[in-house]
Structure 1
Amino acid sequence: MSWYSLLQPDHIYTFLLLFVRLSTLFVFLPFFSHMSVSPSIKAAFAFYLTLVLYPIVQTTPEPASVGLFFAALFSEIVMGLIAGVVLNIVFGIFAYAGEQIAFVMGFSLASVIDPQSQIQSPLVSQFLTMMALLILLAFDGHHMMLIWMVKALKGAPLGGLVLDPKMFDYVMGAMGNLFMLGFSVAFPIVALSLLSDIIFGMLMKTMPQFNLLVVGFPIKIALSLMVWMAVLGSMMLLFKREFVDAVGVLMKWIGG
């Protein structure tokens, strides 16, 4: 294939659609979309992958009108948005669990600006999401996302994405399960906090001189930390399972 043939409208259009798809995925997918990564690095990586994957992409004919061109671009953006929502819901589970844990431990006021979402969140939530991100790298979750990008080139041709109603049903169900799973992750610490509150209440009835603020809260925090460290490994195993299941749903979406 000569360089001149690559400058034909069909090849330019195909290259542009591929670059838009990869760029959109890097904007929405977890890890790749992290704010600590410079936008110039994301753009350069997207352009590099476009050059690498272009030889295996089937050439897409040039659209007959400008409206079809923008419709194809919009379909690529929607694809990246849906994939990002599906995978980021898994991280949302642990962000919500962190908020529940921080509330029962009395750490709700210990909030800082999350550099990723640009909103205030408890330190516990940020710790859990950062741990989840490290576990993602440990079991090669970023490689799984790259493999999905490659398989999507065959299962979902450029500019020809078909929106499956089942995918929207899954997203709505996953949003509902986010709160249930988030509470399940935080349940051991929430249950211990409730039990300690009952015990402290009984102590205050039998010993009115018992100072809950001075003695009770440090004990409650120490017990919560011990239980949290004991179940942290199980939390990360749950994250791995949910993330792999989410990638599996995306694979089925593109017929992979």
Structure 2
Amino acid sequence: MITVTSAQLSSWLALFVFPFVRILAMIASAPILGNKQTPVRIKIGLSVLLTIIIAPTLTVQPNIDPASAIGFLVIIQQLLAGIAIGFTMRLIFTAIEMAGDIIGIQMGLGFAIFYDPQNSSYTPVIAQLLGILAALVFLSMNGHLIMLEALADSFRAFPVNSTIPAAIALHTLASWGGSIFSNALQLSMPVIGALLISNLALGILTRSAPQLNIFAVGFPVTLAIGFATVMLLLPHIIPLLENIIHSSLGTVLRVMQLFGKS
């Protein structure tokens, strides 16, 4: 007759619940996997499948009961860790969409907005273009698989225990959030430079020929130069996107390692 004690049942439950919370939090907050169009059942099912695969390779403190106060704190800890991983990856697409916003405003396309079902908001058309391009690059370089690999490695860098996360990890995460502006500016700088030169040329032309209607001439010229610069920029954006994606994956592991330093 097989007998199971309450201690064994609690340890088995802890071995499943704690990793499941981190995995589910990561999938819910990560790009592509965490889109609002993805059904909740698929997110939960994928989290359960990954937990079944990853959990046997983990070690959890046997004295942690998921129903206890310490177990509740560990669940909150795992929730924060999963959100930190997904948030770090999502900042890539936020920076790219911000670059598209800057480019669209500089080109005079601030009024050309469409509904973005991914973010449930209205987004300029250039931002949607760069966002779709970033998603395709992310999938083509197996970024979703690399992200899952980083999730599995996070359990080694920051194992499931009752250790209080270090505050420096949150500081590192906030510093990576500041990279939105630098990455967005780096992506949009060529278009900003080209449009600045064209605006200076239009300003000189207006001064030399005051009878010229600058609104009738400047808007088509700005659009043409903007689209031409974006077209020339697209082949060079892909290596930059790959560099940003690899940097974010490195940041994920660094944040998890700092989480484990109490």
Scaled by the length of structure 1, the TM-score of the pair is 0.90
Comparing 56-65 with 109-118, greater Cα deviation is found at 56-65
Comparing 129-138 with 6-15, greater Cα deviation is found at 6-15
Query: How far off its partner does 1:63 sit?
Result: 2.5
Counterpart among 70, 73, 96 of residue 72 in structure 2: 70
Q: What CA distance in whole angstroms lies between the structure 2 residues aligned with 1:221 and 1:91?
A: 24
Residues 111 and 102 of structure 1: is their aligned pair in 2 closer, same or farther, counting only changes over 3 Å? same
Q: Does residue 45 of structure 1 match 2:46?
A: yes
1:86-141 residue CA offsets vs partner (Å, 9 max, x unmatched): 22222221111111101011111112232222222212112111211110011111
Match of 2:130 in 1: 128
Query: How far off its partner does 1:4 sit?
Result: 5.5
Match of 2:228 in 1: 226
Q: Does residue 30 of structure 1 match 2:31?
A: yes
Counterpart among 168, 171, 174 of residue 170 in structure 2: 168
Match of 1:240 in 2: 242
Comparing 157-166 with 220-229, greater Cα deviation is found at 157-166
Q: What CA distance in whole angstroms lies between the structure 1 residues aligned with 2:175 and 2:254?
A: 17
Q: Does residue 197 of structure 1 match 2:199?
A: yes
Q: Does residue 91 of structure 1 match 2:93?
A: yes
How many residue pairs are counted as aligned between the two chains?
A: 255
Q: 1:210 aligns to what SS in structure 2?
A: coil
Q: Is the 8 A contact 2:70 2:162 kept in 1?
A: no
Q: What CA distance in whole angstroms lies between the structure 2 residues aligned with 1:62 and 1:118?
A: 43
Q: Name the aligned partner's letter for residue 49 of structure 2.
A: Y
Q: What CA distance in whole angstroms lies between the structure 2 residues aligned with 1:159 and 1:191?
A: 51
Q: Name the aligned partner's letter for residue 142 of structure 1.
A: H
List gaps (5 residues or longer) in structure 2: none
Comparing 206-215 with 70-79, greater Cα deviation is found at 206-215
Q: What CA distance in whole angstroms lies between the structure 2 residues aligned with 1:107 and 1:223?
A: 13
Q: 2:178 aligns to what SS in structure 1?
A: helix
Comparing 56-65 with 39-48, greater Cα deviation is found at 56-65
Q: 1:8 aligns to what SS in structure 2?
A: helix
Q: What CA distance in whole angstroms lies between the structure 1 residues aligned with 2:34 and 2:216?
A: 44
Q: Name the aligned partner's letter for residue 223 of structure 1.
A: I
1:178-223 residue CA offsets vs partner (Å, 9 max, x unmatched): 2122122111111111111111111122222322222221121111
1:47-100 residue CA offsets vs partner (Å, 9 max, x unmatched): 111122222122442436721111011001100121122222222211111111
Q: Is the 8 A contact 1:96 1:125 kept in 2?
A: yes
Q: Is the 8 A contact 2:93 2:134 kept in 1?
A: yes
Residues 129 and 77 of structure 1: is their aligned pair in 2 closer, same or farther, counting only changes over 3 Å? same
Task: Give the percent of matched residue pairs that are identical in Structure 1 and Structure 2.
Answer: 21
Q: Is the 8 A contact 1:75 1:159 kept in 2?
A: no
Match of 1:139 in 2: 141
Q: 1:113 aligns to what SS in structure 2?
A: strand
Query: How far off its partner does 1:7 sit?
Result: 6.8
Residues 161 and 93 of structure 1: is their aligned pair in 2 closer, same or farther, counting only changes over 3 Å? farther
Q: What CA distance in whole angstroms lies between the structure 1 residues aligned with 2:140 and 2:106?
A: 30
Q: 2:78 aligns to what SS in structure 1?
A: helix
Query: How far off its partner does 1:33 sit?
Result: 0.7
Q: Name the aligned partner's letter for residue 102 of structure 2.
A: Q
